[in-house]
Amino acid sequence: MIHTILMVLIILAVLVCITLWGCAHIAKKALHPTAKRKPLDVWPDQYKLPYENVFFKTADGVQIKGWFIPNPLSDKTIIFMHGWGMNRGDVFKNTCFLYDLGYNLMYFDFRALGESGGTVSSIGYLEVKDLQACIKFLKETRPFACGKIGLYGLSMGGMAAICEAAQNPEICCVVAEATYYSFRRVVSRWAWVHNKVPYFPLIPIILHYMRRNLAVNPEKYSPKYNIPKISPRPIFIIHGRYDNLVPAAQAKMLFKRAGEPKEIWLVPGAKHNKCAEVGGFEYKQRLADFFKKYL
């Protein structure tokens, strides 16, 4: 009897150890996306646009690389931010048409992705530091382009855009596409979509490891807490109606928490990060109309 109990306890202990190891591995996989650092395959000269390769460092010493596309007759700049596992080329090809409307365009790779330095991707919290460094760089080296600044963020980039706009009154307007509602929700959904990890009891353990690795609780920086602070500056929420990673219900919740003026467009048939592809001409028209109206 005692031998049986000991065997059961040993088996339970092994299962617990395996579970904890698995949760730690998933947390590390999300925070250290080395396999997602893909090379650029799109460049501005392919679209016959003038550009400058730029470099700047964040407050915590990470080197960020990007492109500045100058429009000499404009003092208005739109800063573009990609999502987790992407790079600046992924958003460039769907947004560079805005150059013809008279804007300077700024694209950069978030830390640990694309050509930028660093090894940790925090799914939003640390990436705000990257955006802040970008704005500082523009103000110090290209003040002529900083009369008005607008932000466009895709997925994780949308989180950074919302968080920065909430605390920086110099931001005139924000486009947030495929953006999650809260850190907890996006981690739980990501873990389920990619690893079929159920919320209970594993997600709280994964979140614990992520908080420990980042030495901060990213949940309190979630868009749901920051989006109300953007008003009275405008925000445009774009989201795929069939987003498989960040359900469209989260876009509706963000829209409800946002102050006026605000707009929302749920793109029929679009999955995560596919709004531009599915939306086609209407996507470009809506994006252009928003920036022409508010920037």
What pLDDT digit, counting tens, does each position of 198-230 carry?
Answer: 656 667 776 676 788 888 888 888 999 999 999
Q: Taking a C-beta distance cutoff of 8 angstroms, is the pair 176, 237 a contact?
A: yes
Whether pLDDT at 18 is above 50: no
Structure confidence at residue 185 as a pLDDT band (50, 70, 90): confident
Whether pLDDT at 23 is above 60: no
Shared domain for 169 and 283, answered yes or no, is yes
| pLDDT given for residue 174 in this prediction | 98
> How far is the C-alpha of 23 from the C-alpha of 18, rounded, in Å?
9
Query: Phi first, then psi: what are they for 231, rounded to 5°?
Result: -55, 140
Token digits for 81?
């931010």
| pLDDT given for residue 293 in this prediction | 97
> How far is the C-alpha of 259 from the C-alpha of 152, rounded, in Å?
18
Shared domain for 9 and 150, answered yes or no, is no
Whether pLDDT at 33 is above 60: yes
Shared domain for 22 and 40, answered yes or no, is no
CATH number at residue 160: 3.40.50.1820
Shared domain for 106 and 216, answered yes or no, is no
Q: Mean of the pLDDT values across residues 103-122?
A: 95
| pLDDT given for residue 38 in this prediction | 86
| pLDDT given for residue 169 in this prediction | 97
Beta bridge partners, 69, equal 105
Shared domain for 12 and 108, answered yes or no, is no
Between 183 and 81, the higher pLDDT residue: 81
| pLDDT given for residue 197 in this prediction | 64
Shared domain for 72 and 127, answered yes or no, is yes
| pLDDT given for residue 1 in this prediction | 61
Mark out the alpha helices in 101-199 (DSSP H runs). 127-141, 156-167, 183-195
| pLDDT given for residue 231 in this prediction | 98
Range of the domain at 171: 36-182+223-294
Shared domain for 111 and 203, answered yes or no, is no
Residue linked to tokens 């409307």: 101
Shared domain for 104 and 233, answered yes or no, is yes
Q: What is the pLDDT of residues 122-162, one digit of tens each?
A: 888 899 999 999 999 999 999 999 999 999 999 999 999 99
Shared domain for 279 and 138, answered yes or no, is yes
| pLDDT given for residue 241 in this prediction | 97
- Structurally, how many domains does the chain consist of? 2
Give the helix, strand, coil percentages of the chain, each rounded to 5. Answer: 50, 15, 35
